[in-house]
Amino acid sequence: MDAEPYILWLDDCDRTSVPLVGGKCASLGDMIKANINVPPGFAVTTAAYRDFLAEAGIGQEIQKILAEVRPDDVEAAEKASLTIRQLMGSAPIPAKIEDSIYRAYKELCGECGVADLPVAVRSSATAEDLPNASFAGQQDTTLWVRTAGSVLIRTAICWSSLFTPRAISYRLAMGFPHDKVLISVGVQKMANARVAGVMFTLNPSNGDRSTIAIDASWGLGESVVSGMVTPDNFLVNRITKDVIKRVASPKLIEYIPDPEGQKAVVMDVPPERQNALCMTDEEVQAVAILGECLDVYYRNPQDIEWALDRDLPFPRNIVALQCRPETVWSRKPRESIAKQKSGPLDFVVANLLAGVRTGLNHSRED
Amino acid sequence: MTTNGRFPSPFEVPTPEGCEGWKDLYPYYYVFSEDRKEFEDKRFWFQDSMHHPEPLYPFDTITCESWWVALGQNNTRVFIVPPALGIDQRVLNGYLYITALPVANPDDIPARVGHFMERAGYYFQNWDRLYAQWVKKAEDTIAELKAIKVPDLPEMEDLETVVRAGRGITSAYDLVVAYNRAIENMYKIWQLHFEFLNLGYAAYLTFYGFCKNAFPDISDQTVAKLVSGIDVILFRPDEELKRLSQAAVDLGVAGVFKKTIQPDEVIAEMGKSDAGKKWLDELEKSKDPWFYFSTGTGFYHLHRSWIDDLTVPCLAIRGYIEKIEKGETLSRPTAEIRKERDRLAAEYTALMPTDEDKKAFQEQLGLARTVFPYVENHNFYVEHWHHTVFWNKMREFGKVLVKHGFFKEVDDMFYLHRFEVQEALYDLIGAWGSGGEARGPRYWPAIIEKRKALFEKLKAYAPPPALGEPPEVVTEPFTIMLWGITTDSIKRWLQPQGTGDSKQLTGFAGSPGLAEGPARVITSVEELKDVQPGEILVCPITTPSWAPVFPRIKATVTDIGGMMSHAAIVCREYGLPAVVGTGFGTKNIKTGQKLRVDGSSGTVTVLS
């Protein structure tokens, strides 16, 4: 039989792939299918994790160690975690799995035209969609990982993150069997942002839902998110895609990836770029379309981090990085504008009388 | 000019030097006077630069005097608009000032609402039928005007038709009747002009307000896109030019337009070949009525139409032929426009907060779409088609008076008020009938010379944009609807001019988009032919008949205009950025300066 693959490209994932790629990667796949660009990448599947345990012959032993931990025994959980993670760390990764990861990483480097492409390596657990489950490994993310060897090491660390003391205790508390949770690992290009920022799929200053408001600055999004620059501001009509407002601001610094190390560094923006708008209308419109797709996908106004990746061609380079529901306007009850008028003529009369002092809308003053 | 947030009183504005006696050009009721000072001094007046940016020629006051009655009566006497009466008018130093008259006692408003609901409600409910009837009435009125014969006064009346037929009536009577009928006809077309207009604008502006309330960021042009008609008569003349361009290509005579675009030469060249003659036949088919298309607003006798002067059509046809030869398609993508309009409506509906709002939005959109054909089309019937015929009909009377020595040239007539022309005609027929000597030839030429000199001075004068104390907040619906005057625009007028950043002008965001290019400042239609491809048109006001120039340019900046201005409508159609109503564009910008026009924010920046 054809074995389950060790690698699944994000483009090929969707909600049916959760058992194989975990919740996070599956949802990235769903987003791609909804025309939402995310940085390109792949999932190292749960099959790889399972075969790693099987070939190393440590699965049974792990279960045995865990069986001895009682709920609420924090100390025992910590001890078990240490033992298990040492066990996993010293077990060899089968050559077939290693080859698959190497090949996938090289292919991703090729696609982006960057040797030793910096990637983010994240865990993507299969139990993430449990109600109220902030499950093990969900938080395990390493940024700026470069070279195939490093990707492999971070993948193994992600696997072992299933057995942090917190994850062990949590499963025990929830009564969820340890051997039913599998883990996949997502490997995704780090956005090499020429421009990045945040956007709301409504106008945060007046709640207009036909508007998409975009803040943008040079380089990685940290400068905007941290408030270290006053970003350029754009308003786009969500329906016509007209750019209805552009405000250029002085953008004095930018974060760019450090070519040597594995982090971002702050640089001064050269004077000629400081006051120039950091995006063309075409780019602004593409960012707005990304926002609209996310708003439709989640059926609610969204607060989105996005980037314009210099390694990818337009419009593939407009990518969503983070997304959460907008909270300020979305929580307000939406009041009716029509307010019980019976037909268009009522509106005409009301409009003619707007602002006019009449016996209808004011009591008489003496 | 202005002090403490108020404009000068009409009684304190000085007469410009050399303009003494300007009041003699206008009737007694049309100027500010001590008799009505108490009323006039209390009101806020603004100069109607939208329709009457130039001083009023005495004869041309017929257009404003006609709408004075017509606009007002529909509010005051016909539909009983709850808070508003009509718009009052005065002339000061040659310029037209207007003021909106409110219902004096607010307690009267509830009763007026009842009448309005019944009367306006009837029109809204029966709009399509009444509008079809209106079109017939308008066309009949134009036909009546065309049919008026302006007789000359013969040495001897005709034997057959007068003596043998026992007519008993002569050319003297016919001349006076013809004049009276023509004047009445002008009153009539303006009565019709306002039959629907206030209601149409009210419905449109109500929908506009509803949209703005639901979506504060929605632009004027997007609201217009939701509503605007697909088969708009205003675009028809331009469509005819496209048809003629295609015909020239198909008949193999397009080369003529490469040799010349001088109208006389084009017609002479075309007349030399059979194919050219066929093209001239096609031209004749387009002319009536589509070339009755003024190159101005139609309010002034000076505004000539395509039918009088083929310069603009020839210029446009040359441009269209170039496009056809490049393989471009000229026809408007009406199916796509309709599809896009429906998509916008569906998406805005979906974003409405409640089902009640969705329903209200749909209903008001429906009403706005019902009224909009009238709002867009009445202009062609009245200001273009009718007025073209009218001004030319008046020139026929001018010719008679020139022949009898009253005037040196035909257009001298327009320096007389229409009542004075009637006096002159009586002078003429009296002398003709009696065999005596008319006083006119000794009386009028000197007066006309004086008035011409005076007029040049009035033209050079910059009138104050408004008079009296402005309201704190503009709420009067017709001031906002028809003139686009808002609390903000009054504030802008009150700011001293010539200070601040002269490199930046602001106006209304007429049509979205960003463009940069060299400016071309145009103050008269004759200069249109100088416009080079890729330039930014800077002009006092554009009219639909300038449409042929739009495919050549990158953006438009106008001095005058608001959300409903023609420049904005046409630029949206052509996808060009436009900033309208900048106030001083043609004064501050020079041809050749590099501009950046941001039609989304309504700003114009002079880059160099």
Amino acid at A212: I
Phi-psi map region of B94: left, alpha, beta (phi>0 left; psi -120 to 50 alpha): left
**Residue numbers in B near A338 (CB within 8 A):** 354, 356-357, 359-360
Of residues A43 and B576, the one with the higher pLDDT is A43
On whether the CB atoms of residues A193 and A309 are closer than 8 A, the answer is yes
CB-based contact, A366 to chain B, within 8 Å = no
Q: Measured at the alpha carbon of residue B299, what is the angle toward residues B297 and B304, in degrees to the nearest 5? A: 65
pLDDT over threshold 60, residue A294: yes
- Pairing outcome for strands B466-467 and B514-521: unpaired
Interface of A with B in 230-259 (CB under 8 A): 235, 237-240, 242-246
**Residue numbers in A near B473 (CB within 8 A):** 355
Shortest distance, CA B480 to any CA of chain A (angstroms): 11
pLDDT over threshold 70, residue B106: yes
pLDDT at residue number B531: 86
On whether the CB atoms of residues A193 and A219 are closer than 8 A, the answer is yes
* Best CA proximity match to B200, nearest among B449, B584, B481: B481
On whether the CB atoms of residues B369 and B208 are closer than 8 A, the answer is no
Cα A86 to the chain's mean position, in Å? Answer: 31
* Number of continuous H segments (helices) and E segments (strands) in chain B: 20, 12
Consecutive H or E run containing A194: strand A193-200
Q: What are phi and psi of B580, to 5 degrees?
A: -115, 155
- Euclidean distance between CA atoms B417 and B60, whole angstroms: 8
- Euclidean distance between CA atoms B342 and B357, whole angstroms: 18
**Residue numbers in A near B121 (CB within 8 A):** 345
On whether the CB atoms of residues B549 and B571 are closer than 8 A, the answer is no
On whether the CB atoms of residues A330 and A250 are closer than 8 A, the answer is no
Residue of chain B nearest A242, judged by CA positions: B512
CB-based contact, B336 to chain A, within 8 Å = no
Q: Answer yes or no: do A237 and B601 touch at CB < 8 A.
A: no
Q: Answer yes or no: do B213 and A239 touch at CB < 8 A.
A: no
- Give B475's DSSP letter: -
- Euclidean distance between CA atoms B608 and B600, whole angstroms: 21
Amino acid at B604: V
- Pairing outcome for strands B555-558 and B536-539: parallel
Nearest to A359 among B107, B116, B216 (CB): B107
Side-chain-side CA neighbours of residue B405 (13 Å): 11
CB-based contact, A343 to chain B, within 8 Å = yes
Exposure of B422 by Cβ count < 10 A (0-12 exposed, 13-18 middle, 19+ buried)? middle
DSSP β-bridge partners for residue B606: B595
Consecutive H or E run containing A43: strand A41-44
Nearest to A206 among B216, B222, B344 (CB): B216
pLDDT over threshold 50, residue B327: yes
Q: Answer yes or no: do B360 and A341 touch at CB < 8 A.
A: yes
| Least confident span in A70-74, A233-237, B450-454 | A70-74
**Residue numbers in A near B117 (CB within 8 A):** 345, 349
- Euclidean distance between CA atoms A314 and B182, whole angstroms: 65
CB-based contact, B202 to chain A, within 8 Å = yes
pLDDT at residue number B544: 66
Q: Answer yes or no: do B102 and A356 touch at CB < 8 A.
A: yes
Q: Answer yes or no: do A211 and B215 touch at CB < 8 A.
A: yes
* pLDDT tens-digit map of B66-85: 999 999 999 999 999 999 89
Q: What are phi and psi of B99, to 5 degrees?
A: -145, 140
Token duo for residue B588? 């501050």
Q: Estimate the crossing angle of helix B355-379 against helix B127-147, to 10 degrees.
A: 10
The alpha carbons of chain B give a radius of gyration, in whole angstroms, of: 25
Q: Answer yes or no: do B210 and A347 touch at CB < 8 A.
A: yes
What confidence category does residue A128 fall into, taking pLDDT thresholds of 50, 70 and 90? low
DSSP β-bridge partners for residue A8: A43
* pLDDT tens-digit map of A157-190: 999 988 988 888 888 888 888 888 889 999 999 9
Q: Answer yes or no: do A349 and B113 touch at CB < 8 A.
A: yes
pLDDT over threshold 90, residue B289: yes
- Give B351's DSSP letter: H
- Euclidean distance between CA atoms A240 and B211, whole angstroms: 15
Residue of chain B nearest A208, judged by CA positions: B215
Nearest to B106 among A235, A237, A358 (CB): A358
Q: Which range has highest mean pLDDT (A50-54, A223-227, B566-570)?
A: A50-54
**Residue numbers in A near B346 (CB within 8 A):** none
CB-based contact, B601 to chain A, within 8 Å = yes
On whether the CB atoms of residues B490 and B87 are closer than 8 A, the answer is no
pLDDT at residue number B490: 80
- Give B6's DSSP letter: B
pLDDT over threshold 70, residue B511: yes
* Number of continuous H segments (helices) and E segments (strands) in chain A: 12, 13
Q: Answer yes or no: do A239 and B210 touch at CB < 8 A.
A: no
Percent of chain A with pLDDT over 70: 92
The alpha carbons of chain A give a radius of gyration, in whole angstroms, of: 26
**Residue numbers in B near A296 (CB within 8 A):** none
| Residue that is written with structure tokens 């390694």 in the block | A311
Q: Answer yes or no: do B344 and A336 touch at CB < 8 A.
A: no
pLDDT over threshold 50, residue A133: no
Exposure of A157 by Cβ count < 10 A (0-12 exposed, 13-18 middle, 19+ buried)? middle
Alpha helices for B103-126 (secondary structure H): 109-125
Consecutive H or E run containing A60: helix A59-67
CB-based contact, A345 to chain B, within 8 Å = yes
CB-based contact, B353 to chain A, within 8 Å = yes
Q: Answer yes or no: do B106 and A359 touch at CB < 8 A.
A: yes
Q: Which range has highest mean pLDDT (A251-260, B136-145, B201-210, B373-382)?
A: B136-145
The DSSP string of B38-60 is HHHHHS-EEE-TTT--SPPPTTT
Over residues A336-355, the mean pLDDT reads: 83
Shortest distance, CA B478 to any CA of chain A (angstroms): 9
Over residues A153-158, the mean pLDDT reads: 94
> Which of B117, B212, B217 is the mutation pick for testing A, counting most A CBs within 10 A?
B217
- Euclidean distance between CA atoms B409 and B445, whole angstroms: 10
Residue of chain B nearest A332, judged by CA positions: B353
DSSP β-bridge partners for residue A41: A188
On whether the CB atoms of residues B79 and B123 are closer than 8 A, the answer is yes
What's the sign of the alpha-carbon dihedral B102, B105, B110, B116? negative
On whether the CB atoms of residues A250 and A268 are closer than 8 A, the answer is no
CB-based contact, A276 to chain B, within 8 Å = no
Query: For chain B, first and last CA: distance in Å?
Result: 31
pLDDT over threshold 60, residue B291: yes
Shortest distance, CA B586 to any CA of chain A (angstroms): 25
CB-based contact, B83 to chain A, within 8 Å = yes
- Euclidean distance between CA atoms B59 and B412, whole angstroms: 10
**Residue numbers in A near B337 (CB within 8 A):** none
- Cis ω before A315 (30° cut-off from 0): yes
Shortest distance, CA B601 to any CA of chain A (angstroms): 6
pLDDT at residue number B45: 95
Phi-psi map region of B574: left, alpha, beta (phi>0 left; psi -120 to 50 alpha): alpha
Nearest to A347 among B113, B360, B512 (CB): B360
* pLDDT tens-digit map of B194-222: 999 999 989 988 998 899 999 999 987 78
Shortest distance, CA B430 to any CA of chain A (angstroms): 53
Query: For chain A, first and last CA: distance in Å?
Result: 94
**Residue numbers in A near B203 (CB within 8 A):** 344, 348
Interface of B with A in 243-282 (CB under 8 A): none
Neighbours of B231 (CB within 10 A): 12
CB-based contact, A352 to chain B, within 8 Å = yes
* pLDDT tens-digit map of A267-282: 999 999 999 999 999 9
* The residue count for chain B: 608
* Best CA proximity match to A353, nearest among B525, B476, B63: B476
On whether the CB atoms of residues A311 and A113 are closer than 8 A, the answer is yes
On whether the CB atoms of residues B234 and B377 are closer than 8 A, the answer is yes
What confidence category does residue A136 fall into, taking pLDDT thresholds of 50, 70 and 90? very low
> Which of B127, B204, B206 is the mutation pick for testing A, counting most A CBs within 10 A?
B206
pLDDT at residue number A355: 65
**Residue numbers in A near B196 (CB within 8 A):** none
On whether the CB atoms of residues B279 and B287 are closer than 8 A, the answer is no
A-B C-beta contacts closer than 8 Å: 144
CB-based contact, B213 to chain A, within 8 Å = yes
pLDDT at residue number A261: 63
Nearest to A337 among B116, B206, B210 (CB): B210
ipTM: 0.82
